[in-house]
Structure 1
Amino acid sequence: MVRDRNFRNESPAPQPTDARGVMIPLGLLIRLSRDKRGIGAIEFAILAPVLLLLYLGALEITVALSVAKRTSRASGTIADIVTQQSSVTKSFLATMPSAASAIFAPFGTTGMTMKITGITIDSSSKATVAWSWAQNGTTPYSAGSAASGVPTDMNTAGSFLVRTELSIPYQMLSFGPDFLPSGTNTITISREYFYRQRTGQSIPCSDC
Protein backbone atom coordinates (compact mmCIF):
# COMPACT_ATOMS: atom_id res chain seq x y z
CA MET A 1 0.00 0.00 0.00
CA VAL A 2 1.43 3.32 -1.07
CA ARG A 3 0.66 6.41 0.99
CA ASP A 4 0.00 9.65 -0.76
CA ARG A 5 2.72 11.99 0.36
CA ASN A 6 0.31 14.92 0.04
CA PHE A 7 -2.17 13.34 2.38
CA ARG A 8 -2.56 15.15 5.67
CA ASN A 9 -4.31 13.66 8.62
CA GLU A 10 -5.91 16.90 9.89
CA SER A 11 -8.94 17.09 12.10
CA PRO A 12 -11.57 19.81 11.36
CA ALA A 13 -11.20 23.15 13.18
CA PRO A 14 -13.21 23.29 16.39
CA GLN A 15 -16.49 25.14 16.12
CA PRO A 16 -17.27 27.92 18.67
CA THR A 17 -19.70 27.06 21.42
CA ASP A 18 -21.82 29.09 23.80
CA ALA A 19 -21.82 28.92 27.60
CA ARG A 20 -23.88 25.71 27.53
CA GLY A 21 -21.51 24.00 25.18
CA VAL A 22 -23.87 24.22 22.21
CA MET A 23 -22.03 24.72 18.95
CA ILE A 24 -22.61 28.01 17.16
CA PRO A 25 -22.23 28.08 13.38
CA LEU A 26 -19.20 30.14 12.42
CA GLY A 27 -21.09 31.72 9.56
CA LEU A 28 -23.69 33.06 11.98
CA LEU A 29 -21.00 34.73 14.08
CA ILE A 30 -19.50 36.33 11.00
CA ARG A 31 -22.89 37.66 9.92
CA LEU A 32 -23.57 39.04 13.37
CA SER A 33 -20.19 40.77 13.51
CA ARG A 34 -20.91 42.48 10.22
CA ASP A 35 -24.47 43.53 11.13
CA LYS A 36 -24.46 47.28 11.95
CA ARG A 37 -28.21 47.77 12.15
CA GLY A 38 -28.34 48.02 15.96
CA ILE A 39 -25.52 50.53 16.41
CA GLY A 40 -27.75 53.56 15.91
CA ALA A 41 -30.23 52.34 18.51
CA ILE A 42 -27.46 51.73 21.04
CA GLU A 43 -25.94 55.17 20.45
CA PHE A 44 -29.35 56.79 20.85
CA ALA A 45 -29.99 54.91 24.10
CA ILE A 46 -26.68 56.23 25.47
CA LEU A 47 -27.01 59.82 24.24
CA ALA A 48 -30.74 60.38 24.82
CA PRO A 49 -30.50 60.78 28.64
CA VAL A 50 -27.55 63.16 28.26
CA LEU A 51 -29.37 65.28 25.68
CA LEU A 52 -32.50 65.32 27.84
CA LEU A 53 -30.53 66.54 30.87
CA LEU A 54 -28.89 69.26 28.77
CA TYR A 55 -32.28 70.40 27.51
CA LEU A 56 -33.82 70.47 30.98
CA GLY A 57 -30.77 72.29 32.36
CA ALA A 58 -30.99 74.96 29.66
CA LEU A 59 -34.72 75.33 30.33
CA GLU A 60 -34.10 75.70 34.07
CA ILE A 61 -31.45 78.39 33.55
CA THR A 62 -33.74 80.29 31.17
CA VAL A 63 -36.63 80.30 33.65
CA ALA A 64 -34.37 81.30 36.57
CA LEU A 65 -32.94 84.22 34.58
CA SER A 66 -36.45 85.32 33.66
CA VAL A 67 -37.48 85.34 37.33
CA ALA A 68 -34.31 87.25 38.26
CA LYS A 69 -35.05 89.89 35.61
CA ARG A 70 -38.59 90.30 36.88
CA THR A 71 -37.27 90.67 40.42
CA SER A 72 -35.01 93.52 39.32
CA ARG A 73 -37.78 95.14 37.29
CA ALA A 74 -40.32 94.92 40.11
CA SER A 75 -37.92 96.33 42.71
CA GLY A 76 -36.93 99.24 40.47
CA THR A 77 -40.49 99.96 39.37
CA ILE A 78 -41.81 100.12 42.93
CA ALA A 79 -39.04 102.49 44.02
CA ASP A 80 -39.79 104.63 40.97
CA ILE A 81 -43.53 104.77 41.80
CA VAL A 82 -42.90 105.76 45.42
CA THR A 83 -40.45 108.53 44.51
CA GLN A 84 -43.09 110.14 42.29
CA GLN A 85 -45.32 110.76 45.33
CA SER A 86 -45.22 113.88 47.49
CA SER A 87 -46.13 111.74 50.52
CA VAL A 88 -47.16 108.15 51.23
CA THR A 89 -49.17 106.15 53.74
CA LYS A 90 -49.22 102.53 54.84
CA SER A 91 -52.33 101.89 52.77
CA PHE A 92 -50.59 103.21 49.66
CA LEU A 93 -47.47 101.13 50.29
CA ALA A 94 -49.66 98.06 50.82
CA THR A 95 -50.66 98.22 47.15
CA MET A 96 -47.08 97.73 45.97
CA PRO A 97 -47.07 93.91 46.27
CA SER A 98 -49.94 93.81 43.78
CA ALA A 99 -47.87 95.89 41.37
CA ALA A 100 -45.00 93.44 41.82
CA SER A 101 -47.30 90.47 41.17
CA ALA A 102 -48.36 92.02 37.86
CA ILE A 103 -44.72 92.33 36.82
CA PHE A 104 -43.92 88.73 37.81
CA ALA A 105 -46.76 87.26 35.74
CA PRO A 106 -46.97 84.50 34.61
CA PHE A 107 -44.77 83.44 37.52
CA GLY A 108 -46.26 83.32 41.01
CA THR A 109 -45.13 85.44 43.95
CA THR A 110 -45.75 83.01 46.80
CA GLY A 111 -43.26 83.71 49.58
CA MET A 112 -42.28 87.14 48.24
CA THR A 113 -41.08 89.67 50.83
CA MET A 114 -40.84 93.42 50.31
CA LYS A 115 -39.39 96.29 52.32
CA ILE A 116 -39.63 99.97 51.41
CA THR A 117 -37.54 102.55 53.28
CA GLY A 118 -37.38 106.33 53.15
CA ILE A 119 -33.83 107.58 53.75
CA THR A 120 -32.81 111.11 54.66
CA ILE A 121 -29.30 112.33 53.87
CA ASP A 122 -28.34 115.35 55.98
CA SER A 123 -25.90 118.17 55.23
CA SER A 124 -22.97 116.04 56.35
CA SER A 125 -23.98 113.21 53.95
CA LYS A 126 -25.11 110.99 56.82
CA ALA A 127 -27.88 108.61 55.75
CA THR A 128 -30.56 107.79 58.32
CA VAL A 129 -33.91 105.99 58.17
CA ALA A 130 -36.86 108.40 58.01
CA TRP A 131 -39.49 105.64 57.85
CA SER A 132 -39.79 102.04 56.76
CA TRP A 133 -42.52 99.58 55.83
CA ALA A 134 -42.57 95.80 55.32
CA GLN A 135 -45.04 93.66 53.44
CA ASN A 136 -46.18 91.98 56.66
CA GLY A 137 -47.14 95.37 58.09
CA THR A 138 -44.18 95.73 60.45
CA THR A 139 -41.48 98.39 60.67
CA PRO A 140 -38.24 96.67 59.65
CA TYR A 141 -35.91 99.57 60.52
CA SER A 142 -36.16 102.02 63.38
CA ALA A 143 -36.59 105.68 62.47
CA GLY A 144 -33.36 107.57 63.01
CA SER A 145 -31.14 104.49 62.67
CA ALA A 146 -28.24 104.48 60.23
CA ALA A 147 -29.14 103.45 56.69
CA SER A 148 -26.63 101.07 55.16
CA GLY A 149 -25.85 100.24 51.57
CA VAL A 150 -26.42 103.71 50.09
CA PRO A 151 -24.46 103.95 46.81
CA THR A 152 -21.64 106.48 46.90
CA ASP A 153 -22.89 108.31 43.82
CA MET A 154 -26.33 108.78 45.45
CA ASN A 155 -25.12 109.87 48.87
CA THR A 156 -25.75 113.54 48.19
CA ALA A 157 -26.15 115.97 51.09
CA GLY A 158 -29.67 117.30 51.58
CA SER A 159 -31.39 114.65 49.46
CA PHE A 160 -33.99 111.96 50.09
CA LEU A 161 -33.88 108.37 48.82
CA VAL A 162 -36.33 105.52 48.64
CA ARG A 163 -34.93 102.01 48.93
CA THR A 164 -36.86 98.95 47.84
CA GLU A 165 -35.76 95.47 48.92
CA LEU A 166 -37.49 92.57 47.24
CA SER A 167 -36.86 88.85 47.71
CA ILE A 168 -38.63 85.86 46.22
CA PRO A 169 -37.94 82.12 46.60
CA TYR A 170 -37.32 80.15 43.42
CA GLN A 171 -37.65 76.38 43.28
CA MET A 172 -35.07 74.76 41.03
CA LEU A 173 -35.97 71.66 39.01
CA SER A 174 -39.66 72.26 39.64
CA PHE A 175 -40.42 69.44 37.15
CA GLY A 176 -38.58 66.98 39.42
CA PRO A 177 -37.95 68.33 42.92
CA ASP A 178 -36.83 64.91 44.16
CA PHE A 179 -33.70 65.12 42.00
CA LEU A 180 -32.05 67.35 44.62
CA PRO A 181 -31.67 66.80 48.37
CA SER A 182 -34.40 68.29 50.52
CA GLY A 183 -33.72 71.92 51.38
CA THR A 184 -31.28 72.49 48.50
CA ASN A 185 -33.74 72.88 45.62
CA THR A 186 -34.87 76.40 46.58
CA ILE A 187 -32.86 79.59 46.21
CA THR A 188 -33.79 83.15 47.15
CA ILE A 189 -33.47 85.84 44.49
CA SER A 190 -33.06 89.30 46.04
CA ARG A 191 -32.75 92.76 44.54
CA GLU A 192 -32.26 96.20 46.09
CA TYR A 193 -32.90 99.53 44.36
CA PHE A 194 -32.37 103.17 45.40
CA TYR A 195 -34.26 106.06 43.79
CA ARG A 196 -34.05 109.78 44.58
CA GLN A 197 -37.22 111.81 45.21
CA ARG A 198 -38.63 113.51 42.12
CA THR A 199 -40.10 116.64 43.73
CA GLY A 200 -39.72 118.45 47.03
CA GLN A 201 -37.16 117.78 49.72
CA SER A 202 -38.54 114.52 51.09
CA ILE A 203 -41.34 111.96 50.89
CA PRO A 204 -42.90 111.63 54.34
CA CYS A 205 -45.00 108.68 55.46
CA SER A 206 -47.63 109.94 57.88
CA ASP A 207 -48.40 106.64 59.62
CA CYS A 208 -45.30 104.48 59.08
Structure 2
Amino acid sequence: MSEQVAKSDVKIGGRSGVFLRLNRAFGLLRDVARDRSGASAMEFAFLAPILLAIYISSFEITTGYSVAQKTLKAAGTIADIVTRQETVNKAFLTEMVDTAEATIAPSPAPGLKLKITGVTIDGGGNAQVLWSWDESGGNPYTKGSAVAVPDDLKKANSFLVRSELSVEHTMLLFFGSPAGSEASTRTITINREFYYRERLGNDVPCSDCG
Protein backbone atom coordinates (compact mmCIF):
# COMPACT_ATOMS: atom_id res chain seq x y z
CA MET A 1 0.00 0.00 0.00
CA SER A 2 2.75 2.42 0.92
CA GLU A 3 4.50 1.61 -2.34
CA GLN A 4 1.38 2.50 -4.36
CA VAL A 5 1.02 5.78 -2.53
CA ALA A 6 4.63 6.64 -3.21
CA LYS A 7 4.22 5.91 -6.92
CA SER A 8 1.05 8.00 -7.01
CA ASP A 9 2.81 10.93 -5.35
CA VAL A 10 5.64 10.78 -7.84
CA LYS A 11 3.18 10.74 -10.73
CA ILE A 12 1.19 13.70 -9.40
CA GLY A 13 4.37 15.54 -8.61
CA GLY A 14 5.58 15.10 -12.22
CA ARG A 15 2.39 16.61 -13.64
CA SER A 16 2.61 19.46 -11.19
CA GLY A 17 6.14 20.22 -12.38
CA VAL A 18 5.00 20.40 -15.98
CA PHE A 19 2.11 22.67 -15.05
CA LEU A 20 4.46 24.81 -13.01
CA ARG A 21 6.90 25.21 -15.87
CA LEU A 22 4.08 26.04 -18.29
CA ASN A 23 2.69 28.56 -15.85
CA ARG A 24 6.10 30.20 -15.56
CA ALA A 25 6.46 30.30 -19.36
CA PHE A 26 3.08 31.95 -19.80
CA GLY A 27 3.98 34.36 -17.04
CA LEU A 28 7.12 35.38 -18.89
CA LEU A 29 5.11 35.92 -22.07
CA ARG A 30 2.66 38.10 -20.17
CA ASP A 31 5.51 40.11 -18.72
CA VAL A 32 7.05 40.60 -22.17
CA ALA A 33 3.70 41.69 -23.56
CA ARG A 34 3.23 44.19 -20.74
CA ASP A 35 6.79 45.50 -20.84
CA ARG A 36 6.81 48.73 -22.87
CA SER A 37 10.44 49.61 -22.30
CA GLY A 38 12.08 50.26 -25.69
CA ALA A 39 8.78 50.21 -27.58
CA SER A 40 8.75 53.98 -28.04
CA ALA A 41 12.24 53.92 -29.50
CA MET A 42 11.23 51.20 -31.96
CA GLU A 43 8.08 53.06 -32.96
CA PHE A 44 10.06 56.28 -33.47
CA ALA A 45 12.69 54.48 -35.56
CA PHE A 46 9.89 53.11 -37.76
CA LEU A 47 7.83 56.30 -38.07
CA ALA A 48 10.57 58.95 -38.24
CA PRO A 49 11.59 58.26 -41.88
CA ILE A 50 7.93 58.26 -42.96
CA LEU A 51 7.18 61.54 -41.15
CA LEU A 52 10.34 63.12 -42.56
CA ALA A 53 9.41 62.02 -46.08
CA ILE A 54 5.90 63.48 -45.67
CA TYR A 55 7.33 66.76 -44.37
CA ILE A 56 9.85 67.15 -47.19
CA SER A 57 7.34 66.18 -49.88
CA SER A 58 4.78 68.65 -48.48
CA PHE A 59 7.41 71.38 -48.45
CA GLU A 60 8.40 70.64 -52.06
CA ILE A 61 4.78 70.63 -53.24
CA THR A 62 4.14 73.93 -51.47
CA THR A 63 7.24 75.43 -53.07
CA GLY A 64 6.11 74.20 -56.50
CA TYR A 65 2.70 75.81 -56.00
CA SER A 66 4.40 79.08 -55.02
CA VAL A 67 6.54 79.01 -58.18
CA ALA A 68 3.42 78.35 -60.28
CA GLN A 69 1.69 81.37 -58.74
CA LYS A 70 4.73 83.57 -59.34
CA THR A 71 4.91 82.38 -62.94
CA LEU A 72 1.29 83.40 -63.48
CA LYS A 73 1.98 86.77 -61.87
CA ALA A 74 5.05 87.27 -64.08
CA ALA A 75 3.05 86.48 -67.23
CA GLY A 76 0.38 88.98 -66.20
CA THR A 77 2.96 91.64 -65.33
CA ILE A 78 4.64 91.31 -68.73
CA ALA A 79 1.36 91.56 -70.66
CA ASP A 80 0.36 94.57 -68.55
CA ILE A 81 3.65 96.38 -69.22
CA VAL A 82 3.49 95.79 -72.98
CA THR A 83 -0.08 97.06 -73.29
CA ARG A 84 0.97 100.33 -71.64
CA GLN A 85 3.33 101.10 -74.55
CA GLU A 86 2.46 102.99 -77.73
CA THR A 87 4.93 100.84 -79.65
CA VAL A 88 7.53 98.19 -78.83
CA ASN A 89 10.56 96.57 -80.45
CA LYS A 90 12.70 93.49 -79.88
CA ALA A 91 15.11 95.32 -77.59
CA PHE A 92 12.23 96.34 -75.32
CA LEU A 93 10.69 92.87 -75.35
CA THR A 94 14.03 91.31 -74.43
CA GLU A 95 13.90 93.26 -71.17
CA MET A 96 10.75 91.33 -70.27
CA VAL A 97 12.90 88.27 -69.59
CA ASP A 98 14.53 90.17 -66.72
CA THR A 99 11.07 91.23 -65.57
CA ALA A 100 9.97 87.61 -65.42
CA GLU A 101 13.05 86.51 -63.49
CA ALA A 102 12.67 89.39 -61.03
CA THR A 103 9.01 88.53 -60.43
CA ILE A 104 9.73 84.84 -59.82
CA ALA A 105 12.73 85.60 -57.55
CA PRO A 106 14.04 84.44 -55.15
CA SER A 107 12.99 81.15 -56.72
CA PRO A 108 15.22 80.17 -59.66
CA ALA A 109 13.75 80.14 -63.15
CA PRO A 110 15.77 77.58 -65.15
CA GLY A 111 14.71 76.85 -68.70
CA LEU A 112 12.68 80.07 -68.85
CA LYS A 113 10.83 80.49 -72.13
CA LEU A 114 8.81 83.56 -73.01
CA LYS A 115 6.52 84.32 -75.95
CA ILE A 116 4.78 87.65 -76.45
CA THR A 117 2.17 88.00 -79.18
CA GLY A 118 0.22 90.95 -80.50
CA VAL A 119 -3.28 89.70 -81.36
CA THR A 120 -5.73 91.67 -83.48
CA ILE A 121 -9.46 90.90 -83.51
CA ASP A 122 -11.48 91.96 -86.56
CA GLY A 123 -15.12 93.00 -86.78
CA GLY A 124 -16.24 89.40 -86.97
CA GLY A 125 -14.46 88.42 -83.77
CA ASN A 126 -11.70 86.53 -85.54
CA ALA A 127 -8.37 86.69 -83.70
CA GLN A 128 -5.12 86.68 -85.67
CA VAL A 129 -1.42 87.15 -84.99
CA LEU A 130 -0.23 90.67 -85.79
CA TRP A 131 3.32 90.05 -84.51
CA SER A 132 5.10 87.63 -82.21
CA TRP A 133 8.42 87.37 -80.35
CA ASP A 134 10.18 84.82 -78.15
CA GLU A 135 13.14 84.91 -75.76
CA SER A 136 15.55 83.86 -78.53
CA GLY A 137 14.52 86.83 -80.66
CA GLY A 138 12.56 84.71 -83.13
CA ASN A 139 8.95 84.73 -84.31
CA PRO A 140 7.15 81.69 -82.85
CA TYR A 141 3.89 82.32 -84.74
CA THR A 142 3.18 83.15 -88.35
CA LYS A 143 1.68 86.56 -88.96
CA GLY A 144 -1.99 86.25 -89.82
CA SER A 145 -2.42 82.81 -88.24
CA ALA A 146 -5.49 82.19 -86.11
CA VAL A 147 -5.28 82.54 -82.33
CA ALA A 148 -7.48 80.75 -79.79
CA VAL A 149 -8.72 83.59 -77.59
CA PRO A 150 -11.16 83.14 -74.68
CA ASP A 151 -14.71 84.01 -75.71
CA ASP A 152 -15.07 86.79 -73.15
CA LEU A 153 -12.10 88.60 -74.76
CA LYS A 154 -13.32 88.41 -78.35
CA LYS A 155 -14.35 92.04 -78.64
CA ALA A 156 -14.74 93.14 -82.25
CA ASN A 157 -12.11 95.53 -83.60
CA SER A 158 -9.84 95.26 -80.57
CA PHE A 159 -6.26 94.34 -79.79
CA LEU A 160 -4.77 91.99 -77.19
CA VAL A 161 -1.29 91.20 -75.95
CA ARG A 162 -0.73 87.59 -74.97
CA SER A 163 2.24 86.53 -72.87
CA GLU A 164 3.18 82.87 -72.53
CA LEU A 165 5.72 82.01 -69.85
CA SER A 166 7.16 78.64 -68.87
CA VAL A 167 9.81 77.69 -66.32
CA GLU A 168 11.22 74.40 -65.09
CA HIS A 169 10.92 73.41 -61.45
CA THR A 170 12.66 70.43 -59.84
CA MET A 171 10.95 68.74 -56.90
CA LEU A 172 12.33 66.24 -54.37
CA LEU A 173 9.69 63.57 -53.79
CA PHE A 174 9.53 60.34 -51.81
CA PHE A 175 6.10 58.91 -52.51
CA GLY A 176 5.11 57.78 -55.96
CA SER A 177 8.72 57.67 -57.13
CA PRO A 178 9.96 54.78 -59.28
CA ALA A 179 12.24 53.76 -56.44
CA GLY A 180 9.33 53.34 -54.06
CA SER A 181 10.00 55.00 -50.73
CA GLU A 182 13.41 56.31 -51.79
CA ALA A 183 13.85 59.97 -52.64
CA SER A 184 13.84 60.99 -56.28
CA THR A 185 13.79 64.28 -58.16
CA ARG A 186 11.19 65.16 -60.73
CA THR A 187 11.37 68.15 -63.05
CA ILE A 188 8.09 69.66 -64.16
CA THR A 189 7.42 72.48 -66.61
CA ILE A 190 5.08 75.20 -65.38
CA ASN A 191 3.23 76.97 -68.21
CA ARG A 192 1.15 80.10 -67.73
CA GLU A 193 -0.40 82.58 -70.18
CA PHE A 194 -2.10 85.93 -69.77
CA TYR A 195 -4.10 88.30 -72.00
CA TYR A 196 -4.33 92.08 -71.66
CA ARG A 197 -6.15 94.67 -73.76
CA GLU A 198 -4.34 97.66 -75.21
CA ARG A 199 -4.22 100.72 -72.95
CA LEU A 200 -3.19 103.43 -75.45
CA GLY A 201 -4.54 103.76 -78.98
CA ASN A 202 -5.98 100.94 -81.02
CA ASP A 203 -3.04 98.52 -80.88
CA VAL A 204 0.58 98.08 -79.78
CA PRO A 205 2.71 97.59 -82.90
CA CYS A 206 6.18 96.05 -82.81
CA SER A 207 8.50 97.91 -85.15
CA ASP A 208 10.89 95.05 -85.89
CA CYS A 209 8.92 91.90 -84.99
CA GLY A 210 7.71 89.49 -87.62
- The interval holding the TM-score normalised by the smaller chain is 0.7 to 0.9
Shift of 1:146: 1.3
Aligned amino acid, residue 169 of structure 2:
Y
Question: Structure 1, unaligned stretches of length 5 or more?
Answer: 17-24
How much identity, in percent, do the aligned residues show? Answer: 47
Equivalent-residue separation in structure 2 for 1:15 and 1:2 (angstroms): 29
Q: Which residue of 1 aligns with 2:37?
A: 37
* Structure 1 residue matching 2:129: 3-state secondary structure: strand
Shift of 1:35: 2.4
Maintained 8 Å contact 2:170/2:185 = no
Q: Which residue of 1 aligns with 2:161?
A: 162
Q: Which residue of 2 aligns with 1:98?
A: 98
Q: Which residue of 2 aligns with 1:187?
A: 188
Aligned amino acid, residue 166 of structure 1:
L
Q: 1:46 to 1:184 in 2, by over 3 A?
A: closer
Correspondence list, 1:119-134, <5 A: 119-134=119-134
Query: Are 1:60 and 2:85 counterparts?
Result: no
What count of residue pairs does the alignment treat as equivalent? 195
Query: Are 1:107 and 2:104 counterparts?
Result: no
Q: Which residue of 2 aligns with 1:19?
A: none
Deviation track 1:35-69 (CA, whole Å, cap 9, x = no partner) reads: 21111111112211221121112111110100000
Maintained 8 Å contact 2:110/2:169 = no
Shift of 1:124: 1.5
Q: 1:29 to 1:156 in 2, by over 3 A?
A: closer
Q: Which residue of 1 aligns with 2:142?
A: 142
Q: 1:58 to 1:184 in 2, by over 3 A?
A: closer
**Which segment drifts farther, 106-115 or 32-41?**
32-41
Query: Are 1:203 and 2:201 counterparts?
Result: no
Shift of 1:32: 4.2
Q: 1:171 to 1:2 in 2, by over 3 A?
A: same
Q: 1:30 to 1:123 in 2, by over 3 A?
A: closer
Question: Structure 2, unaligned stretches of length 5 or more?
Answer: none
Aligned amino acid, residue 68 of structure 1:
A
Aligned amino acid, residue 48 of structure 1:
A
- C-alpha RMSD over aligned residues: 2.6
